[in-house]
Amino acid sequence: MRPTDHNLSRITGLVASRQPSFTMADWERDITSFASLLGLDPISSIAEEGFASDIAVLPPAFLEQSRRVTGQRGATYEGFWRTTRPSVIMRDKFFHDYGMIRVMANGMLQVRMGSQGLVFEGYVFPAEGNIFSVLYDSVGATPLFLVFRGVPLPKADILDGLMVMAALNAERTPAAVPLLLERIGDLTGEDHEDDLICQELFTRNAIVEEGEIDGAVIDHLLRDIGPAAAEKGGDLFLMATSQGRFTQGTTMTGQLRG
């Protein structure tokens, strides 16, 4: 049911009387951004265990551990981020996804990423020195599963990881893809402002232009695996084993990196 333009204008005025920044354009926001603008938890349906209903299906022991670790280390991964990953269906092409990771009122890390008209939403679960993530896309609610190597320092800067997904070809072919996650900014601390920044990031060009990323990154994302690679000192399986430049954190002042 949609109100008439006249009634929608009156409703907007009523909301604006409590939230002065509210305008007609805000009705077009997605549910997460809309709830944040009004100071609400977009996943406020809380199960008895204290978890949102959309993640309460996961093992309670895992969720409790993840929330505990998030309380200790969640700020390490908060911020604005960009992925770099090879395309599964467009040979020799690379893509960026842009978005935000933020600790929510329920004590969990929420992630929102977007590119090419798609928005992916879900959660990040720190555990055992790594971070795990389950996302779904805004069109078919298709899940994506990611795992990254964590960092010991207080602020993650770049993370090396793997993604398991169904490619966007006609067959929706299952694929495992290496990717990098790079910090491109810090949260402002104001949820509404951060949501606006995140929405702007979603509009950025997702296709990586030729020459935009250096050869070392390309070699890392397209690295060889298997018996022949293992004989030459490489990996037998696709693993996020990198250290150094592709998995880094910093102190809050940026004086120490590693």
Q: 86 in a domain, yes or no?
A: yes
Q: 92 in a domain, yes or no?
A: yes
pTM for the whole structure: 0.76
Q: 48 in a domain, yes or no?
A: no
- 115 and 235 in a single domain? The answer is yes
Q: 45 in a domain, yes or no?
A: no
User: Which pair of structure tokens corresponds to residue 28?
Assistant: 């077009």
Query: Which SS3 state, helix, strand or coil, does residue 10 take?
Result: helix
Q: Indicate the DSSP class of residue 51.
A: S
- 161 and 83 in a single domain? The answer is yes
DSSP bridge partners of 235: 225
Q: 52 in a domain, yes or no?
A: no
Domain holding 32, by residue range, is 5-37
Q: Of the candidates 221, 156, 149, 160, which has an alpha carbon nearest to the alpha carbon of residue 183?
A: 156
What would you measure as the largest C-alpha separation in the chain, in angstroms? 72
- 68 and 32 in a single domain? The answer is no
- 227 and 99 in a single domain? The answer is yes
- 22 and 89 in a single domain? The answer is no
Amino acid at 64: E
- 28 and 108 in a single domain? The answer is no
- 176 and 245 in a single domain? The answer is yes
Q: 55 in a domain, yes or no?
A: no
CB count in 10 Å sphere of residue 94:
22
- 154 and 215 in a single domain? The answer is yes
- 223 and 120 in a single domain? The answer is yes
- 136 and 241 in a single domain? The answer is yes
Q: 53 in a domain, yes or no?
A: no
Per-residue pLDDT of the chain (258 residues; tens, 9 = 90+): 567 777 778 888 888 888 888 888 888 876 667 777 877 654 443 344 445 556 666 788 888 888 899 999 999 999 999 999 999 888 889 999 999 999 998 889 999 999 877 899 999 999 989 999 999 887 777 889 999 999 999 999 999 999 999 887 888 889 999 999 999 999 999 999 999 999 999 999 999 988 899 999 999 999 999 999 999 998 999 999 766 789 999 987 776 776
- 203 and 92 in a single domain? The answer is yes
| Cα distances (Å, whole numbers) of residue 84 to 43, 53, 218 | 29, 31, 10
- 135 and 198 in a single domain? The answer is yes
Q: How many domains does the chain have?
A: 2
CATH no. for residue 158?
A: 2.40.128
Q: 256 in a domain, yes or no?
A: no
On the CB side of 3, CA atoms within 13 Å amount to 10
CB 131 within 8 A of CB 77: yes
